Amino acid sequence: MPPFPAIFALAANMNGRYSVSSGGRHDVPFNDDYASRGLEYFDVWSPEIATHYAEVFWTDMGTHPIPPEIVRRFANKTMAIVGYEMDQMERVSVDPNDVSSHGAATRMVARHRAGAAASPDGAPSSQWFSEGNGGESRKSFHGYPAGFAQLVRSPRAWHTTPMQIDIRNRDCGATPDDVARCSGPHGFTPGPEPRQARYGLAVAGLVPGGPKGGVPGATNYSGLLECPCNGRYGGDPAFYPDGGKGGSRTRAHVLSAEACFGAVAQLGVNATSIRNETAQTASSHPLGCSSTRLVDARGASSATFNTAHSAVSCEAGARRVGQVTSLVGVTLGIALDAASDAATLTLSGPAGGWFGAGLHALVMADQPYTIVVAGEEEAQHCAGTRLAASVTVLSDSVSGGVRTVEMSRPLKGRTDDHYSFSLAANTTLNLITAAHHHATLTLTDAAGAPTCVCDQGGRGDLCHDGGTGCAHFVKECAPPRHDAAGAHYPFGDLLEQRNPTCSSMSYAGGLRCCGHGRIMLDADQPVRPELLRYHHKYRFWFEEYLPAPRAHAAVQAPAAPSGGGASHLNLERIYYMTEASAGEYDVPPAFATPSVPLPGYPSWPLGVPTPGTSCTGSCPTPEQPSRFGADCECVHTITYHWSIDNKSLIYAGGHCHAPSCLDISLYRNDTGTPQLLCRQATKYGAGDVKHDKFDEADFVALPPCLWEGEGLDPAPWLGPKTPMVSVKRNRNTRLGHFGEMASWQMRGVPFPAHRAQLADRKAAVVARS
């Protein structure tokens, strides 16, 4: 590991100057120069990263010490981290622009010992640093106004899990001496790409300026950045008919009795037995496959395949029940009762140890609502946010080495962080249990009404070349505004737009195809032997935190408020995704192309804008599907609606990977007329690297919104259940993009708990000015 440099009191920004937004204003007169604010910093370096072209590096790099001088200085004290910067350094590699930073979460920790005394000033023992952590990270500002910081008590170590994709064209070399080679007219020379990259348009010669074949031509970015599924893993059958996804396309109905009986048996239906039957009736069962709970048959259910057209529908009754056991032996049963507004949960697992289940999730990174039954030892896992208790324990028993806890809670969650059950929406529910195993639970009508079983196109497996190592999933994408029971909240656009990210059956690119060590090329494309070697470098800018009495007395502390408060307010993390629980989404091209398949929308009609797309100018129509006038402009939009409780925003950083990103906007909607809180408009580099090495052509920066300070808007107060709206826009006139993201990585203080402190800080700022 490289040695740590000395600690400096003053130095220039590591990545040059930044831009800051506030409300709807851009390039506001905020001082983004850390050094001129009298801040100190320390640097840390990651271990070496070494990759082949097109290789994904996405793994835990372990915990490493921070400089010993810092450890000694802040032993039993609190550090106020007021900003940070990151870069990929050419100490032993080529230009860091040639490796995309898709995302890197960094964590500062204080090594916790059991029984250690709590921090006397209430400062946390660890902090996450992940705002704007995609390709926009290097040139997006990660700092806070005076008097606000991420506080950490007695910091000793840091931890990082970078997600990188190597896009350095090996024909241009991979050593420090090769930095200036193949810079091209746009500052970047792309390398080979798989057939499915850029929705197959590069291979077809339909990327502007690009020839046919595996290299896209004169473009400023690599199609590998979007993690396209490919001939080595998960490729769409339209591009890879002999391998890849493994499965047929989605169908509305199960087409055979055998498929119906097999599907019901795998769905996690809560039944002592399942009776298979065929029928030809228009009065008792819906067309196709359905499952019905036989209320007079001791818990049995039926699987019925009906070949007759029927007026019978699959209704959401007043009660639904379901149960499933995961691969690690954790069983979750759920009974939903609309009449009593109650969800009864029965959770079973090994006696003597802890076990739990997280709802609405496939992996822990989904940050699920989780119920944990604690044993003699507390669960050892990444810390989540402890929620206020909302369940009532009805029984707790042990039999045969299995502990079973029955509990009850209302259908609607106590807060937005508590999962809300819906009899209409919850027919299947993804859950994750201990050891990261996931399962799917199906809720059927308890009173005997049929529950329809649809064919999702087989399991839609994503497989390695040759059909091995297959995986499948169905994400719980947010539903649209209304469901069968009426208004639904929160709600989003992905399901209504049939976005391909929501299921492995239609999935075409993104995180699921971008596992650590994978090569993002087709199986017939060679892997070059040259390794690209580099390190991550992080710079943390800090001040000493002064508790209230000392801050009041310390004249030299520039952030000290005048009324006796502490020198800094701790900024809590506030995280929401415009793509809701999907974690990513696809931006399809505005129109289907006659000669090229459209992954995710295989039968989309020509001349009709794809879901979420709006166009102006002379664009294709069903009558003229090939018309593309010079004035044709198309934009893809997604929205998300949710609510925030008792927060005051200080920092908001959106997430925008694709080179087509236009903007991401945040609104409050108390009155029904959305009020803009933050609009982040992308800034693209002009390519003048001769005068500014960070001004790389089309390199994206996403200036965050800041509030409360010099040149900034006042901090917005968001009281109980404040309705929020996020709107994300991407240009998609001719090209689409896989795996785009639109999360809000925000920081703020509790409201109204810190209203007095914040008001005091305003007075201090006025006094200093």
How many angstroms separate the Cα of 275 from the Cα of each of 191, 265, 294? 56, 10, 9
CA distance 241 to 238: 6
Q: Which domain holds residue 327?
A: 254-374+391-454
CB 424 within 8 A of CB 445: no
The answer to whether residue 490 sits within a structural domain is no
Is-cis flag, bond preceding 490, omega within 30? yes
Mean pLDDT of 432-438: 54
Amino acid identity, position 607: G
CA distance 702 to 651: 13
- pLDDT tens-place string over residues 565-605: 789 999 999 999 999 889 999 999 999 998 888 998 887 89
Mean pLDDT of 728-734: 94
217 pLDDT band, cuts 50/70/90, is low
How many angstroms separate the Cα of 186 from the Cα of each of 183, 192, 209, 218, 662? 7, 17, 12, 8, 20
CB 195 within 8 A of CB 525: no
The β-bridge relationship of strands 569-570 and 148-153 is parallel
271 pLDDT band, cuts 50/70/90, is low
Poorest-pLDDT segment among 209-223, 241-255, 374-388, 695-709: 241-255
Q: Would the pTM of this model clear 0.75, i.e. be above it?
A: no
CA distance 640 to 571: 24
The answer to whether residue 136 sits within a structural domain is no
Look at residue 250 in the predicted model and tell me its pLDDT: 34
How many angstroms separate the Cα of 278 from the Cα of each of 281, 284, 456, 498, 749? 10, 12, 21, 31, 60
CA distance 161 to 238: 34
Tokens of 88: 């990929």
Report DSSP state, residue 174. Answer: S
Q: Give 616's contacts (C-beta < 8 A, 6+ positions apart).
A: 631, 632, 633, 634
**CA nearest neighbour of 499 among 371, 624, 610:** 610
Look at residue 302 in the predicted model and tell me its pLDDT: 82
The answer to whether residue 16 sits within a structural domain is no
Look at residue 428 in the predicted model and tell me its pLDDT: 64
Mean predicted lDDT score pLDDT of the chain:
80
**CA nearest neighbour of 60 among 136, 158, 204, 138:** 158
Report DSSP state, residue 359. Answer: E
Look at residue 137 in the predicted model and tell me its pLDDT: 84
User: Residue 550: how many CB atoms within 10 A of its CB?
Assistant: 14
Please give, one letter per residue, the 3-state secondary structure of 255-300: CCHHHHHHHHHCCCCCCCCEEEEEECCCCCCCCEEEEEECCCCCCC
**CA nearest neighbour of 194 among 165, 233, 163:** 233
122 pLDDT band, cuts 50/70/90, is confident
- Judged against a pLDDT cut of 90, whether residue 634 lies above it is answered with yes
The answer to whether residue 145 sits within a structural domain is no
Tokens of 682: 């992308």
DSSP-assigned states of every residue in 302-354: EEEEE-S--S------SEEEEEEE-TTS-EEEEEEETTTTEEEEEEEEETTS-
Domain count, the chain: 1
Poorest-pLDDT segment among 27-36, 179-188, 504-513, 519-528: 179-188
CB 294 within 8 A of CB 266: no
Q: Give 550's contacts (C-beta < 8 A, 6+ positions apart).
A: none
CA distance 389 to 411: 14
- Range 1-30 burial, b when 16+ CB lie within 10 A, else e: eeebeeeeeeeebbbeebbbbbbeeeebeb
CB 748 within 8 A of CB 647: yes
Q: Give 520's contacts (C-beta < 8 A, 6+ positions apart).
A: 54, 55, 56, 165, 194, 224, 227, 228, 230, 232, 513, 514
Kindly tell me the sign of the dihedral angle through the C-alpha atoms of 347, 350, 354, 360.
negative
Mean pLDDT of 181-204: 79
- pLDDT tens-place string over residues 44-57: 999 999 999 999 99
The answer to whether residue 262 sits within a structural domain is yes
CB 234 within 8 A of CB 462: yes
408 pLDDT band, cuts 50/70/90, is very high
Within 13 Å and on the Cβ side, how many CA atoms surround 374?
Answer: 6
The answer to whether residue 433 sits within a structural domain is yes
CB 423 within 8 A of CB 316: yes
**CA nearest neighbour of 141 among 651, 559, 675:** 651
Look at residue 1 in the predicted model and tell me its pLDDT: 36
How many angstroms separate the Cα of 432 from the Cα of each of 17, 362, 410, 584? 43, 6, 21, 19
The answer to whether residue 208 sits within a structural domain is no
Q: Which helix (H) or strand (E) holds 228?
A: none
Report DSSP state, residue 80. Answer: E
607 pLDDT band, cuts 50/70/90, is very high
Q: Give 465's contacts (C-beta < 8 A, 6+ positions apart).
A: 231, 232, 233, 243, 244, 523
Q: Which helix (H) or strand (E) holds 755?
A: helix 755-768
The answer to whether residue 341 sits within a structural domain is yes
What percentage of the chain has pLDDT greater than the value 90? 42
**CA nearest neighbour of 654 among 136, 105, 32, 73:** 136
- pLDDT tens-place string over residues 71-115: 999 999 999 999 999 988 865 433 444 444 455 555 555 543 333
Query: SS3 of 199, please?
Result: helix
- Judged against a pLDDT cut of 80, whether residue 748 lies above it is answered with yes
Look at residue 425 in the predicted model and tell me its pLDDT: 56
